[in-house]
Structure 1
Amino acid sequence: MTNAYNIVLASQSPRRKQLMEWAEVNFDVIAPVTDEAFPETMPVEEVPVHIARNKALAVKDGYDYNRYDIQSPIVAADTIVVLNNQIIGKPESRNDAIRILSSLSGKRHQVITGVVILAGEKEVSFADITSVWFHELTEEQIIFYVDKYEPYDKAGAYAIQEWIGVTGIKSIEGDFYNVMGLPVSRVLQALQTL
C-alpha cells in the first residue's frame, strides 16, 4: 500500500510498529516522551484518546517532525485496560503483575485504544473497545506467565499474542488487534478519509 505523505507513528510500542508493518504501510517512528496524566473526572473511554492526542501534539510540535510535509499524518495511540470501570495500568512490580492478572481471572474486562490522527489542521480521533474474557487462571499459570514473559510494560499485565492469550483467554468481542494496541483496519480507514 502506498501513501502520498509518509505517515509518522507516534509510539514507542514495538507491537504498534509491528501491526503497521503487517498492514504494509509506509511509516516512520517518532517516539515522544509525554505525560500520561489525565483529569480524574474524565470518563474512562476518553482517557486513551486524551493521552494519544498529547502524543500526537508532542510529535507535531517537536523538532523531528520538521523534515516532513505539514500534511504528513501523525498516528498516535494509547491503550488502557478497564475492569469494573477502573483503569488498570502497567504493573509496577512482579507482585503487582500477579495481583492484576488474579483480578482479571475468570472475568470480563475492556481494552480501550484511543487513536488520534493529525494531518495539517485536520484531526480524526476515536476510541475502539474490545471485551475480553479470561478463563479462571490458576496461581501457577499466573506466576509462570509473569516470570517468563515479564509483562511490566503492558497495560493489564498481559499481551494477548503471548502464551497467556493463547491459553488463558476464553473469548473476545471486538477487534483482536485493538487488544494488541492498535485497531489497524479502523486506522487505515481513517487515514483514507484524510
Structure 2
Amino acid sequence: MKLVLASNSPRRRQLLTDMGLPYKIRLREVDEDFPAHLRRAEVAEYLAAHKAAAYAPDLAQDELVITADTIVCLENDVLNKPADRAEATAMLTRLQGRAHDVFTGVCLLAGDGRQVVFSDQTTVHFRALSPAEIGYYIDTCQPYDKAGSYGAQDWLGMAAITRLEGSYFNVMGLPTHRVWAELEALGALPGNAQLR
C-alpha cells in the first residue's frame, strides 16, 4: 500500500524516513479539540482517529493514511502546545523535578476501510530545573509547537531527562515499534520492507 503521512511534524517525517518507509505528505487543517471526559491515552487516540476521519473521503483504495497526536500528562492534566511564553514557562515549571507521562495516539486508516487505532505510553523523569534554565530553553528553542512545551530531542531533553520508561521515539511523536508491527499486521509494509 502507498503510505500517506498526515502530519506537519518534522520529527514524524524523519522517523518514517529513518524506518525506510516511503511515504507522501498530505496536510489539511483539523481541529484538535476533544471531549472533556476523556483521560490520558483516550485523548491521544481520539485525536489521532479524528484526524484520520478528515482524510477518509480522499483516500484511494491502495492508500493508507497515518495520523498521530502526542500529549503530555501530569497526573490527569493534559498539557498541550503552549499558547505563549508564559504558558510554556508554567508548564515546564510544573514538569521540572517530577515524572510525567507522554502518550502518542496513532491511527492507521486504509482506503479499503480497515482501521487500527492504538497508543503508546512513556514515563519521562525530569531533574529539577532552575528558572534560568527554563527561560534559556524557551528563548532558544521556541517550543510552541510541542506538547508539554518541550522536545526530547532538544536541549531540554538532553539536559533534563534523567530516565525514560518506554519508547524514546514515542516521546518524539511516533511509537515506531508499534507503527511497524501494526503496518506489518495489516500487510501494509512496502514490498522492500517485508523482512519476515
Aligned to 2:68: 77
Which runs of 5 or more residues in structure 2 are unaligned?
187-196
Q: TM-score, normalised by structure 1?
A: 0.92
For the aligned residue pairs, the C-alpha RMSD in angstroms reads 1.0
- Where does structure 1 differ by over 2 angstroms across 4 or more consecutive aligned residues? none
* 1:25-174 to 2 correspondences below 5 Å: 25-62=21-58, 65=59, 69-119=60-110, 120-174=112-166
Maintained 8 Å contact 2:39/2:76: no
Aligned residues with identical type, % of pairs: 40
Unaligned runs of 5+ in 1: none
SS in 2 for 1:73: strand
| Aligned amino acid, residue 22 of structure 1 | D
Take 2:96 and 2:144, find their aligned partners in 1: how far apart are those partners?
Answer: 18
- Kindly tell me the number of residue pairs found equivalent between the two proteins: 185
Q: In structure 1, how many angstroms separate the alpha carbons of the residues matched to 2:22 and 2:117?
A: 21
Q: TM-score, normalised by structure 2?
A: 0.91
| Deviation for aligned residue 1:32 | 2.3
1:16 aligns to what? 12
Question: Structure 1 CA distance, aligned partners of 2:56 and 2:6?
Answer: 9
